[in-house]
A and B are shown apart, each in its own frame.
Chain A
Amino acid sequence: MEPRVKGRVILFGDNINTDVIIHARHLRTIDPAELAEHAFEVLGDEYPQKLRQFDILVAGENFGCGSAREQAASCLVGAGLKAVVASSFARTFFRNAINTGLPIVECPPVRGAVQEGEEVEIDFARGTVTTPKGTFTFPGLPPSVMEILAVGGLVPYLKRKFATAGAPPPRAG
């Protein structure tokens, strides 16, 4: 995971649900690049291509609500998005983003501070999002969770864990 990401913003509103992000009929693969070919397709056939022209997705409240489908996060990775900034996230999307290595930032003021196509910069170490209208701070993720995101998601995290420690000790009792 990059310590800083900078790029052009694609903008969405509140309550963007997983059916809109990627429809159930496209869950035939787990390859992020293949999934990205159908991202936001329900909004228009041009959306999967449009998405690729941007770097950071900015949305309002409750982004990723609905299904627990992990592909809602991984299709955004496949589309080349470097991060998602939202006023709030649905909890299943929040976990899925971490597990697929997609950096997420909960920072409510950002949605109102950018226009589509403008540039923003996220500094994960400092916990800041810099927009044309000013710099906003966000609380960092807990260190144990950040560890998963930092290595690129749950599969690489598990690979490392098992390579170094073997299976974790069984629970007592």
Chain B
Amino acid sequence: MGMTLAQKVLAQTSGKPTVLPGEIVDAYPDLVMSHLASWRSIRQLEQVGVDRLYDLNRIAVVLDHRSPARTPEDAGHHQLIREFVKRHGIPVYYDVHEGIAHLVLMERGHVLPGMLILGTDSHSTIYGALGAFGTGVGFTEVTSVWLTGCVWMKVPESVRVVITGRFPPAVFGKDLMLALIGQLTANGCTYKSVEFTGDLVANLSISERMTFCNLAMELGAKCAFVPADAVTEAYLAGRAKRPYELLRPDPDAPYARQVTVDASALTPMVSCPHQVDNAKPITAVQGTRIHQAFLGSCANAKYEDLEVAAGILKGRRVHPDVRLIVTPGSREIYLQAMRSGALQTLVEAGAMLTNPGCGACAGDGGSLGDGEVCLSTANRNFLGRMGSRTSQIYLSSPATLAASAIKGVIADPREFLA
């Protein structure tokens, strides 16, 4: 019997020829990412009372979530992290100006096919866009891996999502994922690895693959993969920090379930408050009044996302009753969109442009007042997440967001992208 990608990565990082779903292994992650939560891992390290770290080259620290510091307390946490990074000489470190940890680490070639990566962030599943096993852990677990190099992992069963057909106009990876989460539910792939495959995936950009693997977390997935291929190689050319192999699942790998999606049959989708799996076709919610539109987050604030939104907003105006906040995912994306003119287009249309980072998705600015409604390109619409407990969050693609920002209500992007 062959192995899935999750099995292969856990076998190679635990020094075993094969592993089976359900088996518990001691794995040695290739990389441990911690963001702002690093200060908590440092405090826990002080509690343990040991200062010798297992392997500095397997540590990555990126200061996102609250950037730049909003309060003296934040600034103190940042100071603690900087001092720790300097004292230990941790080589992979990015400060508050760089953007969202996930995107920065992928853009800078630290994430490679076949790696096992832990992160203090649930959306670490996004690393599967480059064929890596990414999964979220808490801050004490990071302390533990800093010290021991090792983590216990249960080998997950895998679910294969086969995507055929082509996206109709104004339908994107986000719409597909919201539809899939609606179908399988927020608990649909709990503890499982999700592998995306099929004709559509083979030609899909890394940006859209990131959206797939990021949103897979909202199915409860432990990790998600788009198997590495020529598209991956092209993205990594000039970025990869070291040589890598294109790890692929075996043809006879065991899958607990297979789900087939015909992309051609999809329409723009919106997730309604307060669960991501409360997904509905745009036609069911269009006309809903919005106060804020947030184009940001590790799900959909990549260069392609900003371009799609700018394409719709070009020569048009954001509705006077809507605040459009644009938070590019990273400094690289910011620069790219600056050069292409997308940022200028967005600002001319009336958008407010912030520094790269997590922004309003993580509650870092852009808070919602009582009864306010936000349409967001992020990955979560949980009760109270962006502010008041009586506020509401809807989730959509960047295209639906741009159309809605113009209309002042949730609007069908097909009117603009027919």
- A67 (CB) vs chain B CBs: closest residue: B122
Instruction: Tell me, yes or no, whether B16 is within 8 Å of chain A by CB.
Output: no
> Contact at B149–A15, with CB atoms within 8 Å?
no
What chain B residues lie within 8 Å of A73 (beta carbons)? 138
Instruction: Tell me, yes or no, whether A137 is within 8 Å of chain B by CB.
Output: no
Distance in angstroms from A93 CB to nearest chain B CB is 9
Instruction: Tell me, yes or no, whether B417 is within 8 Å of chain A by CB.
Output: no
Interface members, chain B 148-197 (any A CB < 8 Å) = 148-150, 152, 186-187, 190-191
Q: Which of A73, A92, A173 has most B Cβ within 10 Å?
A: A92
Instruction: Tell me, yes or no, whether B336 is within 8 Å of chain A by CB.
Output: no
Instruction: Tell me, yes or no, whether A171 is within 8 Å of chain B by CB.
Output: yes
Contacts A65-B220, A68-B120, A154-B144 given; indicate if A20 touches B48 (C-beta within 8 A): no
Q: In the docked arrangement, what's the CA distance between A62 and B385, Å?
A: 18
Cβ 8 A contact of A62, one of B144, B150, B186, B382:
B186
Distance in angstroms from A155 CB to nearest chain B CB is 5
Cβ 8 A contact of A70, one of B138, B150, B222, B389:
B138
> Contact at A168–B148, with CB atoms within 8 Å?
yes
A-B Cβ contacts below 8 A, count: 130
Q: In the docked arrangement, what's the CA distance between A17 and B28, Å?
A: 29
> Contact at B220–A95, with CB atoms within 8 Å?
no
Distance in angstroms from A69 CB to nearest chain B CB is 7
Stretch at the interface among A3-11, A22-30, A114-122, A124-132: A22-30
Contacts A19-B382, A19-B385, A167-B52 given; indicate if A158 touches B363 (C-beta within 8 A): no
Interface members, chain A 65-95 (any B CB < 8 Å) = 65-70, 73, 88, 90-92, 95
Q: In the docked arrangement, what's the CA distance between A154 and B41, Å?
A: 12
Contacts A19-B384, A42-B389 given; indicate if A68 touches B190 (C-beta within 8 A): no
Q: In the docked arrangement, what's the CA distance between A167 and B186, Å?
A: 40
What chain A residues lie within 8 Å of B122 (beta carbons)? 66-68, 92
What chain A residues lie within 8 Å of B69 (beta carbons)? none
What chain A residues lie within 8 Å of B147 (beta carbons)? 158, 162, 167
Q: In the docked arrangement, what's the CA distance between A67 and B382, Å?
A: 11
Cβ 8 A contact of B220, one of A30, A62, A144, A145:
A62
Contacts A95-B138, A154-B140, A168-B148 given; indicate if A25 touches B363 (C-beta within 8 A): yes
Please classify the interface of chain B as helix (H, G, I), strand (E, B), loop, or mixed, using the class held by over half of its residues.
Answer: loop
> Contact at B149–A171, with CB atoms within 8 Å?
yes
Q: In the docked arrangement, what's the CA distance between A100 and B143, Å?
A: 13
> Contact at B138–A92, with CB atoms within 8 Å?
yes
What chain A residues lie within 8 Å of B191 (beta carbons)? 91
Instruction: Tell me, yes or no, whether B380 is within 8 Å of chain A by CB.
Output: yes
Instruction: Tell me, yes or no, whether B137 is within 8 Å of chain A by CB.
Output: yes
Instruction: Tell me, yes or no, whether B24 is within 8 Å of chain A by CB.
Output: yes
Instruction: Tell me, yes or no, whether B15 is within 8 Å of chain A by CB.
Output: yes
Interface size class of A (residues with CB under 8 A): 35 or more
> Contact at B152–A30, with CB atoms within 8 Å?
no
Q: In the docked arrangement, what's the CA distance between A90 and B186, Å?
A: 10
> Contact at A170–B54, with CB atoms within 8 Å?
yes
Interface members, chain B 27-79 (any A CB < 8 Å) = 28, 37, 40, 43-44, 47-50, 52, 54, 73
Instruction: Tell me, yes or no, whether A34 is within 8 Å of chain B by CB.
Output: no
> Contact at A20–B384, with CB atoms within 8 Å?
yes
Cβ 8 A contact of B187, one of A62, A66, A100:
A62
Instruction: Tell me, yes or no, whether B225 is within 8 Å of chain A by CB.
Output: no
Cβ 8 A contact of B138, one of A20, A90, A96, A168:
A96
> Contact at B383–A20, with CB atoms within 8 Å?
yes
Instruction: Tell me, yes or no, whether A159 is within 8 Å of chain B by CB.
Output: yes
Contacts A15-B275, A91-B222, A154-B141 given; indicate if A144 touches B24 (C-beta within 8 A): yes
Q: In the docked arrangement, what's the CA distance between A100 and B139, Å?
A: 10
- A70 (CB) vs chain B CBs: closest residue: B138
> Contact at B190–A90, with CB atoms within 8 Å?
yes
Interface members, chain A 15-51 (any B CB < 8 Å) = 15, 17, 19-20, 23-25, 28, 30, 42-43
Instruction: Tell me, yes or no, whether B136 is within 8 Å of chain A by CB.
Output: yes
What chain B residues lie within 8 Å of A123 (beta carbons)? none
- A155 (CB) vs chain B CBs: closest residue: B47
Q: In the docked arrangement, what's the CA distance between A95 and B380, Å?
A: 21
Distance in angstroms from A25 CB to nearest chain B CB is 6
> Contact at A15–B380, with CB atoms within 8 Å?
no
Q: In the docked arrangement, what's the CA distance between A168 and B150, Å?
A: 9
> Contact at A99–B383, with CB atoms within 8 Å?
no
Instruction: Tell me, yes or no, whether A103 is within 8 Å of chain B by CB.
Output: no
Q: In the docked arrangement, what's the CA distance between A25 and B24, Å?
A: 35
Q: In the docked arrangement, what's the CA distance between A15 and B140, Å?
A: 24
Contacts A24-B363, A91-B190 given; indicate if A153 touches B140 (C-beta within 8 A): yes
Known: A73-B138, A154-B144. 16 other contacts (CB 8 A): A15-B187, A17-B383, A19-B384, A68-B119, A68-B138, A69-B138, A70-B40, A70-B138, A91-B190, A145-B24, A155-B140, A158-B147, A162-B50, A167-B148, A170-B54, A171-B28
23 A-B pairs with CB atoms under 8 Å apart are A20-B382, A30-B43, A30-B139, A61-B187, A62-B187, A67-B122, A68-B119, A68-B121, A70-B139, A70-B140, A88-B187, A96-B138, A144-B152, A145-B152, A154-B140, A155-B47, A158-B148, A162-B48, A162-B147, A167-B52, A167-B148, A170-B149, A171-B15
